[in-house]
Structure formats: C-alpha cells, structure tokens
Chains A and B, each alone.
Chain A
Amino acid sequence: MRTLPCLLLCGVVFLFVGLATAEGAESPIQVADAWARQAPMMPTMGHMHGDTGTGAVYVTLRNTGATPDALVGASSEAAEAVELHETIRDGAVMRMRPVGTLALPVGGTLTMAPGGLHIMLLRLKRALRPGDTVPLTLTFEHSTPLTLTVPVR
C-alpha cells in the first residue's frame, strides 16, 4: 500500500530536479552534485564598483549521449566573469591554472572537487551565503547550454 505514494513522490522529485537543473530540450549531459562554496564580499583596492569576491562551483557531468562533447565555458549573473580552472598538487604547493575546455567523452564522467577542477566565479556581484542558490549556465561544444540552480554551502 505504501509503494504507490512513494513512487508518486519519487516521480515528483525527479520532475522537480529535472525542471530545476535543466532548461529546454533533453540534454545528453547529466548533472549531479552541483554546489558552490560560500564566499563573502570584500573591499577591493582599485575596484570602482565597491566590494567584490571570488567563488567556486563544483559539479559532476556525465555524457550519456552517443557523441563526444566538451564543457567549453560557463556564465552566471552573480559574477562578472566565470572561468574553468584546475588546481594541481605539486608536493605541498597547490598551483591553479585556467583550462580551455574539458572533454566529455561518450559515457565519460567529469568530476569537479576541491583541490582539483572547479568553475571559478570572478568579481562576484553578491555574497554567496550558505543556504543561498546561484544560477550557472554551462556551455558545451555540441549540446545545448544547461542552466543550473546551484546551492551554496
């Protein structure tokens, strides 16, 4: 007797997640575990528009389609610029570099995590506080762009 409401609930949850994370046509790119690190707004020297900050978003992408694809960029109304970056461990030193595109081979998973690949939000327009959400649009080489609502924690 309990299975039916549960199934209905699951269906509603899936529908909600689908609506919340992707816009437009069904994309072969699956998004999971998107989150942004909290980031404050800070006084910035020489910055004419007042306080600003720097943030990072982590996301896991999976290409379920039949053709290779690539993440080529990202944008957000919460930041003046968004870039794909990678942190590389070199002994005790952590080096960060912008990366051009990130390949998404057929069936491949691209995992972003602290101390590795991340989407960097430059010159934030507002603070990212735990519990907030931040909109983020991912652009791909072939697939249609995906707009996510990313929770801040």
Chain B
Amino acid sequence: MHARLGLVFLALLALLAVPCGAATPAFRTSVLEPPEPAPEFTLRADTGKTVRLRDWRGQVVLLYFGYTSCPDVCPTTLSDLADVKKQLGPRGRQVQVALVTVDPERDTPKRLRTYVQAFDPAFVGLTARKAALAAVWKAYGVYVQSHRVPKSADGYIVDHSATTFVIDPEGRLRLAISFGTPVADILHDLQLLLPR
C-alpha cells in the first residue's frame, strides 16, 4: 500500500517536472548560468566613434575576440556569424556582431573596418589603448598571448580564446559559443534570445 502511494507521488512529481523543464529554453551552445550582467566596456569603434556595450541594449550582441592577421580561426568564425545573420533575415538586424582586437599594435581602426566589412557591412571592429583592451579581455576571461615565430614570415602570432560571447537584449551574458559550433546551432539559440 505504501509502495503504491510512493509511486503515485513520483508520478505526480514527474508531471510537475515536465512543464518546468519545458519552460527553460533548450539552448544548444554553452549556457552561462545564472545570467549575469555582461561586463561593461567603452571602446573605440572602427568608425572612430566611442562605443559602450550598453549602447547596444535591445539587441543581441555577439562579442568575438580576434585579430585581422589571423588567417584561419577568426575568418572562419566571422564567416559563420555572417551566415547566421543572413539566415535570420530581417531579424538579423537585431544582432550586433563585434570583433574586439587582441592585436592593438597592428589593428588600427581603419584596418579593422576593412576587415570586418568583408564579412558583413554591419559588423563592427573595436579597439582601444592596450591597457583598456587588456581590462576587457580579463573581464571576459579571454586569454591573449602573442609570440614571435622566427621561422615564419608573419613576425608574430597571437594565441587567443576563440569563444563568441552572446549578450541578450537586457545586457546579460547568456551563451558562450566555442569555435567550430555548427551554424544551425548558433541560429537556433539566437532565435530563442531575439525579441519576438
């Protein structure tokens, strides 16, 4: 008799649990929980204008840290993000993609602008003085390490975290997209975060 009551109790619990579970959107990329306010920053846009993160409130912000001399990882990510934006159609206008440089010595605003615009005319490149940039890298937990490569004609290479951070329209840090995440998964998650 007790065993049967126990089973009924469990069944009731399961019924309660199902709607609760369904209420949280099922993201496919890494969810940052609980959603905390994204670290605020003031950086120089590639247009020369000063940009604060809060200027983009109401939009979904995709923040990527990279550099313009990066031939493989950065263009792959920016191409994927441009593809996602295209597939979102008119809703893509509510997505702001920003590349924060990890190579301020070489990445002048003009250079950043030419670079990001090759992927999407609405993408923005961000820079600042080294100390100000380093504070932003640290706030987002981004690893940046440049080193000389004697064998390479490149001079130096910058190793860096290749994560894309997703900030929701309320300015909260919600998702961390790792390098190589399929475009379909990014698209799926942005559709959940975009205002209806």
Of the candidate stretches A90-98, A102-110, A132-140, the one touching chain B is: A90-98
Q: Give the segment of A1-9, A19-27, A120-128 that binds chain B.
A: A120-128
B68 touching A38, Cβ below 8 Å: no
Do B72 and A115 have beta carbons less than 8 Å apart?
yes
Contact across chains for A43 and B108 when beta carbons are under 8 A apart: yes
B159 touches A93 (CB 8 A): yes
Q: Collect the chain B residues with CB atoms within 8 Å of residue A89's CB.
A: 179
Of all A-B residue pairs in the complex, the 7 with the closest CB atoms, nearest first, are A40-B118, A81-B153, A114-B76, A56-B71, A95-B159, A94-B162, A42-B114
Is B160 touching A121 in the complex (CB atoms < 8 A)?
Answer: no
Which chain A positions have C-beta within 8 A of B162?
Answer: 92-94
Confirm or deny: B70 has a beta carbon within 8 angstroms of a beta carbon on chain A.
yes
Asked if A39 contacts B71 (CB within 8 A), the reply is yes
State the Cβ distance, B8 to closest chain A Cβ, in Å.
Answer: 47
A-B pairs with beta carbons under 8 A, tally: 101
Measured CB to CB, the closest approach of chain B to A145, in angstroms, equals 20
Contact of B114 among A40, A95, A118 (CB under 8 A): A40
B residues neighboring A (CB under 8 Å): 68-73, 75-76, 79, 106, 108, 110-111, 114-115, 117-118, 143, 149, 151-154, 157, 159-163, 176, 178-180
What are 14 A-B pairs with beta-carbon distances under 8 A?
Answer: A39-B118, A40-B115, A43-B108, A83-B152, A87-B72, A92-B161, A93-B162, A94-B179, A95-B159, A96-B73, A96-B159, A114-B72, A115-B72, A122-B154
A94 near B108: Cβ-Cβ < 8 Å? no
Determine if B114 and A43 form an interchain contact, defined as CB atoms under 8 angstroms apart: yes
Q: Is the CB of B72 within 8 A of A56?
A: yes
CB within 8 Å for A92 and B178 given contacts A45-B108, A56-B72, A98-B152: yes
The residue in chain B whose Cβ has the minimal distance to the Cβ of A41 is B114
- A94 CA to B66 CA, complexed, in Å: 10
Q: How far is the CA of A21 from the CA of B139 in the complex (A)?
A: 48
Q: Note all chain A residues with C-beta closer than 8 A to B161.
A: 92-94
Q: Is the CB of A115 within 8 A of B71?
A: no
Assembled-state Cα–Cα distance A38/B79 (Å): 9
B72 lies within 8 A of A92 (CB): no
A67 adjacent to chain B (CB < 8 Å): no
* A102, chain B: closest CB distance, angstroms: 15
- Contact of A43 with B110 at beta-carbon distance under 8 Å, contacts A93-B160, A94-B159 already known: yes
Q: How far is the CB of B126 from chain A (nearest CB, A)?
A: 16
Contact present for A54 and B71 (CB under 8 Å): yes
Distance, CA A90 to CA B69, complexed state (A): 20
Residue of A39, A41, A92, A123 with highest tally of chain B CB at under 10 A: A92
B residues near A62, Cβ cutoff 8 Å? none
| Nearest chain A residue, comparing its CB with the CB of B144 | A93
Q: Are A37 and B108 in contact (CB under 8 A)?
A: no
B179 near A115 with CB under 8 A, answer yes
